[in-house]
Structure 1
C-alpha cells in the first residue's frame, strides 16, 4: 500500500500553489493559560471553501487524465468535501455531481451548488450518500473523488502539515480532528518525517467515534449509529489506507462530548473572533477538556468554518449553558402584588441579566396562593449561577428546578 511521504507532499504543494491559501497561524491566550505554554490555531476555517478539503480535492482532480476529466467527477459529502470538489472541478473545467445526506447543512448545500456542482440528496448518513455516489460512478463512468480513500487526497491534505512545520518549527503536539482520517493521515505522515519528536493527537466526537474501536480491533470497524453536531467528522468507518497511516503514525485518539464541542465553538467565537464549525473545533475542545495532557508548543488545526447561522445560534446558546453562563430556573413565589417584581429586582441586583420570564398559576407542585415563575438569564459563569440560586433561597424563594 502506498504511503504519504514529504517529497510527494512537497510536489503536491507546488501543484496547489496559487489555488489554495497558505492559512494563518493564530495564537490563543486562553488556551495558552490552560496548557502552560504556546498554543497556536491553524486556521483552515479561512481556507477557500471554508475548510482544508479543497487541498486534496483539487490535487486529486488535477491529476486525472483528459478522458477522466471529460467523464466528470462524483463525490459524497456532508458538506466540506462537497464544496472542495465543486470548486476544484470548476477551476479545472470538469463536471461535478455530489451526493449529500438529506440532513446536510443548508448553508453547505447552497454553497456547493453555488460553486457549480449538481447536488443530489440521498440517505441519512455519509455512508449512504457514498453508496449512491459509487453507483453513479459505475453507471456513468464519472470518477469518484473519495473524501479520504485515495493517496492524492492524503497528499493534498498533507500540505497542512508542511505549513505547520514551517510556521511552528518547534511544535511539540499537533491536535487534529479525525473523521475518515484523510487530514490526520497526511499531517501525521509529514510531521513525523520532518519533526520525529512531535506528538500527533486525533480527536473525534464521542457519539461518532469509529477510530477507537477500529484501532482496538486492528482493522476498520463500522459504527452502527452516529449522532453529533460535528457532521464533518461523522464517518462510520475508516478506509484501509487511512487506517494504515493512523495506526502507525498517530499517538492517540481522544473523544469529546457535544457540550465540549459547543464550548470550544464559543471560545473561538468570543476570544479568537473565529467562526468554526463543530467538526472544525474538535481539537480545541480536546485541549480545553484536558489541557495538562498536551505538551506545548501546541498546534490545534481548525479544520472548517462552514456552519449554518441558525445552527450557530443554537450551538452558541448551548455553549453558554454548558459553560454555566446561561441559567434557567423555575421558582415558586407568593401570589400577591409585588412578588414578581421583588424576584426580578433581586436577580438584577445579583447581576443576572433576565432574558425571558414566564408566569403561571398552574403547576402540580403549587399550593394555594403560590405562582410558578420560569426565568432564563445570562450569568457570568457557574460560580455566579450558584450565588444567584443560594441568594434566592435565602430571600425565601423556592427554587424548583435549575438547568
Structure 2
C-alpha cells in the first residue's frame, strides 16, 4: 500500500487545491448517494458501498472537472468560448458547466455518436458539430476550430484543473464513509482515478491513516498495466469493448504520474464480466449504470479484488443508450447462463417437438424462440435441426436442462 507523506512533493494538485475545487464545484454538483450493497458485501466478505455518481447531474462525474477548469478562465477566454471533443459524458459535462457560467460551448462529436447523448449535450446549451466517423476525426476538427477561433480547448482528463475537480469525489467519499479501507475506481485516460486517489490519500494521511485505491480497466482497452510496467505512458491497440467510456489507447501524462504515485493496483475485467455487473446493479441495487461505470462492480464479482475491508465502489456514470443497454443485458444474461441458446438435431418424424416441449416444461425453462428447419448444411438428410432460446434461473438450472435433454437421447450444443 502506498504511504503518502503530506509534507513531500507530489505530482498534480495538492490537498489545498482539491479543497478549493470542492468549494468551486459545490454550487453545481450534487453530493451523490452512498448505498450499502448487501449482495456485493456477501461476495467480497466485507462491507461494499456504492458511490452513485451515475446519479450526478449530467449523469456522470465529468461535470466536476469541467466546471472547475472553466471557472478559472479569464474574462477574455470566456468571451472566446470553449471547445471539446467527445462522444458522451465529457461532452455533457462541458456543455452544462459552460451554460452555468455563461460561456459559449462548441462540442465536436463523431457522426456515429448515440442520438440520446447528442440531444442531451445540445439540451445543455452546446452547439454540436458532427464530424467524421470516429472520435479521432472529431478531435482533429475540434483542434482545428480552436486554432481558427482562439477558443479554449477543454481536455477530458489530462489537465491540472480537471484532475482537481474530479478529486472532489475522493474528498466526498471520505466525508460520507470515513472508515473506508479500499476505493475502487474506473480508469480510462486516468483523470478520475488520479483525482480520487490523490485527494483521498492526501486527506487520509492528514488524518493519520492509510487507504488502498484500486483502478479497474476493461481488458480490451487496458493501457495502464503496460504503461506502469514501462514506467511511462504507452500507446496500445485497443480492442472493441462495451465500456467505450474508458476505451483510451494512451494514459494522460499528468494522470499517469499521479496514478503511479497514488494507485496501489490496476486490475482488468472482460466485457462479459461488465455485462453481468450491469445486470446485478439493475436487479439488486435498482441502478442504471453504463458499462464504463460498472467495471468496479465487475471487479468485485469476479474476485479481481480481495481482502479489501470496507470498500467503496465508484459507479462513475449512468449515460447509456437504451439500444446498447438492451444488447448488454442480453449479453449479460447469456454470460450468466440465464439465457440459453441450444442447437441440436432431431429425428425427422412426428412428435419430436412435443417431446422437447415436455422436457422444457418439466424443467421449468421458459421458451423465448424456436427455429425448426431441414435446410442447414450440417443436418443429416433424415433429420431436422432445432434451435431453442430459453431463459433459466442460472448456471445450475441451465445444466439440469441440458442433462435432461441428453438423458432423452438428444445431443444439445450451446450456441
Report the counterpart of residue 3 of structure 2 in structure 1. Answer: none
Pairing 1:15–2:24 present = yes
Displacement of 1:24 in angstroms is 0.2
The aligned runs of 1:281-296 (5 Å cut-off) are 281-290=294-303, 293-296=306-309
Q: 1:131: which partner in 2?
A: 140
Cα offset, 1:45, TM superposition: 0.2
d(CA) in 1 for partners of 2:150, 2:380: 73
Listed as ranges, the gaps of 5+ residues in structure 2 are: 1-9
Residue 44 of structure 2 corresponds to 35
Say whether the 8 Å CA contact 2:86–2:138 is kept in structure 1: yes
Distance 1:176 1:292 in 2: 12
TM-score, length-scaled by structure 1: 0.96
Among 50, 58, 63, the residue aligned to 1:49: 58
Structure 1 residues 213, 101: closer, same or farther in 2, change over 3 A? farther
Q: Is 1:333–2:346 an aligned residue pair? A: yes
CA change 1:221–1:129 in 2 (3 A) is: farther
Q: Does 1:385 align with 2:395?
A: no
Q: Distance in 2 between matches of 1:181 and 1:218?
A: 15
- Partner SS, residue 133 of structure 1: helix
Q: Which residue of 1 aligns with 2:86?
A: 77
Counterpart mapping for 1:2-401 below 5 A:
3-196=12-205, 197-290=210-303, 293-399=306-412, 401=413
CA offsets, 1:216-258, max 9 Å, x none?
A: 1111112233421111111121222111100111111111111
CA contact (8 A) 1:78 1:231 kept: no
Is the 1:178–1:203 contact (alpha carbons within 8 Å) kept by the matching residues of 2?
Answer: yes
Paired with 1:226 and 1:12, the residues of 2 have a C-alpha distance of 35
Classify 1:207/1:261 alpha carbon distance in 2 versus 1 (closer, same or farther; 3 Å): same
Stretch deviating more after TM superposition (37-46 or 288-297): 288-297
Alignment partners' CA distance in 2, 1:190 and 1:13: 11
Q: What is the TM-score normalised by the length of structure 2?
A: 0.93
Question: CA-atom RMSD, angstroms?
Answer: 1.5
Quote how far apart the aligned CAs of 1:370 are. 1.9
Quote how far apart the aligned CAs of 1:92 are. Answer: 0.8
Deviations 1:243-286 (A, max 9, x none): 11001111111111110111111111111000000001111111
Q: Distance in 2 between matches of 1:216 and 1:330?
A: 45
Structure 2 vs 1, CA of residues 200 and 128 (structure 1 numbering), >3 Å: closer, same or farther?
farther
* Cα pair 1:226 1:236 within 8 Å, conserved: no
Query: Aligned partners of 1:365 and 1:243: how far apart in 2?
Result: 52
Distance 1:109 1:270, change over 3 A: same
Q: Cα distance, 1:291 vs. partner?
A: 5.6
What is the rounded CA distance, in whole Å, between the counterparts of 2:135 and 2:164 in structure 1?
22
**Is the Cα contact below 8 Å between 2:11 and 2:258 reproduced in 1?**
no
Sort the Cα spacing of 1:249 and 1:306 in 2 relative to 1 into closer, same or farther, 3 A.
Answer: same
Alignment check: 8 A CA contact 2:238 2:248 kept: no
Q: How many residues align?
A: 402
Instruction: Answer yes or no: is the 8 Å Cα contact 1:173–1:294 preserved in 2.
Output: no
In structure 2, C-alpha distance between the alignment counterparts of 1:227 and 1:213, rounded to whole Å: 18
CA deviations 1:317-369 (Å, max 9, x no partner) are 10000011110011222323321022012112101111000111223343344
* Deviation of the 1:292 alpha carbon: 5.5
User: CA offset at residue 176 of structure 1?
Assistant: 0.3
